[in-house]
Amino acid sequence: MARIGVFVCWCGENIGRTVDCPKVAAEAAEFPGVVHSVDYKYMCSDPGQGLVKEAIREKKLTGVVVAACSPRMHESTFRRACAEAGLNPFLCEMANIREHCSWVHEDRGEATAKAVQLVRVMVEKVKRNEALFPIKVPVTKRALVIGGGIAGIQAALDIANGGKKVVLVEKEPSIGGHMAQLSETFPTLDCSQCILTPRMVEAATHPNITLHTYAEVESVSGFIGNFDVKIRLKARSVDIKKCTGCGLCAQKCPQKKIPSEFDEGLGMRTAIYTPFAQAVPNKPVIDRAHCTKFLNGKCGICQKICPVGAVDYTQEDTFIEEKVGAIVVATGYRLYDFRNGEKDYGIEGYGEYGYGQYKDVIDGLQFERLASASGPTGGEILRPSDGKPPEKVVFIKCVGSRDCAKGLSYCSKICCMYIAKHAMLYKHKVHHGTAYVFYMDIRAGGKSYDEFVRRAIEEDGAVYIRGRVSRIYKRGGKLVVVGADTLLGGTGGGRVEIEADLVVLATAMRPQYGIEALAQKLSISYDEYGFLSEAHPKLRPVETNTAGIFLAGACQGAKDIPEAVGQASGAAAKVLGLFSGDELEREPIVAHVNQSQCVGCFYCEQVCPYHAIEREEKRDKAGNLIARVAKVNAGLCQGCGACVATCRSNSIDLDGFSAEQVFSQIGGLK
Amino acid sequence: MATGYYPGCSLEGTAAEFDMSIRALAEALQLPLTEIEDWNCCGASAAHQTNHLLGLALPARTIALAAAQGMEEIVAPCAACSNRLIAAQAEWLDNSGLRGDIEHAIGMPLPAGRLPIRNCIEFLLPHIEKITAALRKPLTGKKVACYYGCLLVRPPKVVAFDDPENPVTMEKVAAATGAEAVDWGFRTECCGAAFAMSSTASVVRLCGRILDNARSEGAHMVIVACPLCHANLDMRQPKGMAMPIVYLSQLVGLAVGVAPKALGLGKHITPVAPALA
């Protein structure tokens, strides 16, 4: 005989204001099978949980329904309480009377009636719940980190320093990411390279880290604790073991006019190249799309000149397979392409800023290269068109960001700070120049951030103008920037015209190209902009909804260096936690096949998003094949139920959500 | 394909040379245009500000006439005319509830589908090869500034013509004549439009800025495809500017050897001849 306890939570005022909780508890007490029903102001608190435990012990409950918030919020809290009182945790269910009821209704009478219904259906379900036991899976104590920018480096180092092995994969020839391109960093103006390059070296030489640069993740299969990863090592055309990094090949390469990716097109590189002088590893690759040898078979100078015979034109992409227990995705960001727009994403671009036809209209990363000591101008701020120092520089914020009409609706977060930094660096280098900043708001919420912006304005004299720029056009050799100063009223309407020598657009931060394809390989989700989705925006910010896969840095949303590093360390902590035991416990909400009933159509195999359906052969005693039937790999199954709904012969059921349980819930509605 | 020609009122009055040059050019390029019989006013800005249905019914009647006369597209060189025709048609195609009211008002059925409405640039754009082949007096060495104004490209979602912030089609047609289209910044800025009457000084100031930039970027003349743009830029120039304002159809007409007189080149307030010398 079922003995169910019902516990109705007020959630302070969240539920209590709209739902008459004592009435819900009183009505629930009358449901068949309910032997105990109470309400309490904060059921998740220690005394609240005490009520649950006490009732389990005293009333010998066989099931518990907590009518409170979403199970995503506190199901684990109450299940733990039940377990402590000796009840199998899977005999505890939540009736969500907050998100599904009090928060979305206004009428107290109707909301209370709905809450009663929600409790009734859960009581009906719990009566049919069975004790379930967590599934144990072994763990490979080795992590994969995808992306070798600052976030990936930090995550790899933290895991490695925690004593676990790491495979770090970077698609470019060197690790370092965008941070290696930066000049100085806000809010302290540390030299970016000086704080980053030692970490790059540490990551490359760490005994626990295996580094693969110029490599990409090809495919991923498996599940938490047991991922199989295939990695493509792109052909460098240089034997990295022989190469000493002497650099002779790049000196002699006749192709010298290839726009450098590292210098954002402001400098040139050769066809055999290392992206920058401090690259890790400091070994070149051949860019086959631009190499004369690969284009028409002539040349071959680099091979002739290499003192150790490391250049190998016959190299091909190779593949390696790695087994890992956890994956950290740290693929970072790129800047919105204001030159071409991004029609694929429905982003129109900014014709009023010239679509990049003006050489002296550049983006923030290009300005970083102009200001960087390792940049094409050696750190002198010279404009790209004629190499002269600009007397007036206009910075425009929110290009592509916070623009629902033709850009992206989100705030890119870092621009307010880096533009203040740019204005400051410019003034430090061109003392007589003037920096103008067009802004919508100044968002400088961070430790020492607002002080930094004030310094740019008050000490370095950056002229901040609140308003947007409607057009940039050329007049003579100058760029005329036409905008509005919305703090100026009067007959002029706040119209501002500035004859600038250089214009810097703070273009929106976007996730890297190819993020969607990678997310699909990993079976993790992403939002409408391609940023990877965390499991919970507040309480699980580094986890994804796929167990064992974690996020670090700007692949999850726009963020600056301190935040990216913080998240990377968070992800590393999660990985180390995962690796702390030899076995993992997983929720036993998995599907089961009734193999005697299965007809072997394998429709379930086609719909399973997690590749959890396996084929099993049934043989008689003589070894003759009788049937091929489906089997669920409990390690892979995420309990989504797609196979249950698809099964034509009704042979699959989901533990914890059996057909009987679900139908009894529906039957319980009145 | 039968192409209906809708000159509208401006082309019968202040912009007679636009009408002359379009007809002369169409003949020279052997692009048959048939004037829509019994066409009426498009309503311009007056009608749709007076009454919504009136603003739709006036363009609707012209479109219905064209369809009834077996025309499959309409060339409406005046930017205001083409804008009103496109906007009205888009509105009844988008909101089927309007169709009955409009048909009742005009006493005629509306065509079921969309009748393409082409402005002067769209009329010429598909025929660039024809223009190049017909060149008699290429305008090599002439620098022109193509000016779009507001109506040709806006509202972008309705007219769906070119890039509203950085249009390029007029430059393509102009380049076919051998002229060099300069890169300049005021291609879609406001000319002051109807404020020529009520705030002449503002229009002179706005036109002055546009022409200043065209001059500083080296243009010998400004090319337009809108009668109102032409009227303002031609008449409201600051003293000493003397920048010829030429319709796109006149420019192409000249290049393919149509006589200047037939193009109405003598009708301008600011003389064109010096720029052609």
Query: Which residues from chain B sit within 8 angstroms of residue A356, using beta carbons?
Result: none
Domains and CATH numbers, chain B: 3-120 (1.20.1050.140), 136-271 (3.40.50.11810)
Q: How confident is the model at residue A354 (pLDDT cuts 50, 70, 90)?
A: confident
- What is the pLDDT of chain A when averaged over all its residues? 94
User: What pLDDT, on a 0 to 100 scale, did the predictor assign at position A491?
Assistant: 62
> Residue A406 domain-assigned?
yes
> Mean pLDDT over residues A649-667, rounded?
94
pLDDT of residue A617: 94
Tens of pLDDT, residues A186-245: 999 999 999 999 999 999 999 999 999 999 999 998 888 999 999 999 999 999 999 999
pLDDT of residue B165: 87
Q: Is residue A628 a part of any domain in this protein?
A: yes
Selected residue of A357, A475, A491 to mutate for chain B interface (largest B Cβ count, 10 A) = A475
Is the residue at A291 inside a domain? yes
Chain-chain contact of A476 with B185 (C-beta, under 8 angstroms): no
Encoded tokens for B215: 């001059």
Q: Are residues A372 and A387 located together in one domain of the fold?
A: yes
Q: Read off the pLDDT of residues A120-130 as tens digits, 9 standing for 90 and up.
A: 999 999 999 99
CB–CB contact A480 B216 (8 Å): no
End position of a domain, from candidates A462, A488, A510:
A510
For A406, the token pair is 């033709």
Distance CA A146, CA A168 (A): 6
A55 CB burial (10 A radius; 0-12, 13-18, 19+): buried
Among A103, A127, A151, residue at a domain's last position:
A127
Which one of B163, B183, B216 has the shortest CB-CB distance to A351?
A: B163
Residue B20 is given by DSSP the state H
For residue A587, with 0-12 CB atoms within 10 Å meaning exposed, 13-18 middle and 19 or more buried, which class applies? middle
Q: What percent of chain A has pLDDT over 70?
A: 99
State the residue for tokens 């039940």: A82
Distance CA A147, CA A156 (A): 10
Both A324 and A350 in a single domain?
Answer: no
Res A406 pLDDT > 90: no
Domain count, chain A: 5
Does the beta-carbon distance from B183 to A351 stay under 8 Å? no
Residue A471 corresponds to which tokens in the numbers above?
């057009």
Which chain A positions have a beta carbon within 8 Å of B216's beta carbon? 475-476
Categorize the per-residue pLDDT at A384 as very low, low, confident or very high, splitting at 50, 70 and 90. very high
Do A96 and A180 share a structural domain? no
Q: Nearest by CB to A352, which of B165, B213, B216?
A: B165
Q: What are the pLDDT digits (tens) for A267-313?
A: 999 999 999 999 999 999 999 999 999 999 989 999 999 999 999 99
Does A344 score more than 80 pLDDT? no
Closest CA to A158 of A195, A208, A201: A208
CA distances from B22 to A475, A476, B28 (A): 33, 35, 10
A292 with A255: CB under 8 angstroms?
A: yes
Is A660 among the domain residues?
no
Say if residue A346's pLDDT is above 80: no
Q: How many residue pairs from chains A and B have C-beta atoms closer than 8 A?
A: 27
Same domain (yes/no): A506, A377:
yes
Residue A604 token pair: 């379930």
Please report residues of B whose CB lies closer than 8 A to that of A352: 165-166
Using the Cβ of A474 and the Cβ atoms of chain B, whether some distance falls under 8 Å is answered with yes
C-alpha to C-alpha distance for B29 and B27, rounded to whole angstroms = 5
> What would the mean pLDDT of A638-663 be, rounded to a whole number?
94
- As a whole number of angstroms, the distance between CA B91 and CA B79 comes to 18
pLDDT at residue A177 in the model: 97
pLDDT digits (tens, 9 = 90+) for A239-280: 999 999 999 999 999 999 999 999 999 999 999 999 999 999
Amino acid code (one letter) for A212:
H
Write the burial class of residue A590 (CB in 10 Å: 0-12 exposed, 13-18 middle, 19+ buried): buried
Mean predicted confidence (pLDDT) in A436-452 = 96
Looking at this protein, which amino acid is placed at residue A482? V
Query: CB-based contact (8 Å) between A466 and chain B?
Result: no
Q: Which of B163, B164, B184 sits opposite A473 (nearest CB)?
A: B184
Percent of chain B with pLDDT over 70: 100
Q: Which residue of B has its CA nearest to A356?
A: B166
Measured in angstroms, the CA of A350 and the nearest CA of chain B are apart by 7
A464 close to B (CB below 8 A): no
Confidence at A377, pLDDT banded by 50, 70, 90: very high
Q: A567 and A603 in one domain?
A: no
Residue A611 lies in a domain: yes
- B163, B164, B186 ranked by CB distance to A473: nearest: B186
Shared domain check, A273 and A154: no
| pLDDT of res. A490 | 62
Chain B residues with at least one Cβ partner in A under 8 Å:
163-166, 183-186, 189, 213, 216-217
Using a pLDDT cut of 90, give the percent of chain A over it: 89
Same domain, A339 and A322: no
Q: What is the Cα–Cα distance from A564 to A520, expressed in whole angstroms?
A: 23
| CB-CB neighbors (< 8 A) of B183 in chain A | 357, 474
> Is A355–B216 a contact, with Cβ atoms under 8 angstroms apart?
no
Clarify whether residues A420 and A480 are in a common domain: yes
The residue assigned the tokens 């990409």 is A216
Query: Domain holding A36: CATH number?
Result: 3.40.50
Question: pLDDT per residue over B218-256, tens digit each?
Answer: 999 999 999 999 999 999 999 899 999 999 999 999 999
| Under-50 pLDDT residues of chain B | none
One domain, residues A355 and A419: yes
Residue A544 contacts by C-beta under 8 Å, 6 or more apart in sequence? A329, A522, A524, A525, A532, A533, A534, A535, A550, A551
Query: Can you give the pLDDT at residue A584?
Result: 87
Q: Which residues does chain A have within 8 Å of residue B217's beta carbon, measured at their own beta carbons?
A: 474-475
In one-letter notation, the amino acid at residue A352 is E
Q: Is A584 domain-assigned?
A: no
Question: Could you tell me if A24 and A97 are in contact, meaning their C-beta atoms sit under 8 angstroms apart?
Answer: yes
Q: What is the CATH number of the domain that holds A461?
A: 3.50.50.60
Whether residue A447 sits in one domain with residue A351: yes
Q: What is the CATH number of the domain that holds A595?
A: 3.30.70.3270
Cβ pair B183:A475 closer than 8 A: no
Question: Cβ separation of A475 and B216 shorter than 8 Å?
Answer: yes
Longest pairwise C-alpha distance within chain B: 57
Segment A139-158, tens digit of pLDDT: 999 999 999 999 999 999 99
Peptide bond between residue B244 and the one before it cis (omega within 30 degrees of 0)? no
Instruction: Give me the pLDDT at residue A62, please.
Output: 96
Could you tell me if residue A136 is inside a domain? no
- 3-state class (DSSP) for residue A526: strand
Split at pLDDT 50, 70, 90, the class of A477 is confident
The DSSP output letter for A419 is H
Same domain, A22 and A170: no
Q: Is A485 within the bounds of a domain?
A: yes
Which distant-in-sequence residues (6+ apart) come within 8 Å of A326 by Cβ? A143, A144, A224, A225, A227, A548, A549, A550, A574, A575, A578, A579
For A608-639, the pLDDT digits (tens) are 988 899 999 999 999 999 999 999 998 788 89
Across B134-166, b (16+ Cβ under 10 Å) vs e yields bbeeebeebbbbbbbbbbbbeeeeebebbbbbb
Q: What are the chain B neighbours of A351 within 8 Å (beta carbons)?
A: 163-166
Residues A474 and A533 in one domain: no
Domain that holds residue A611: 591-654
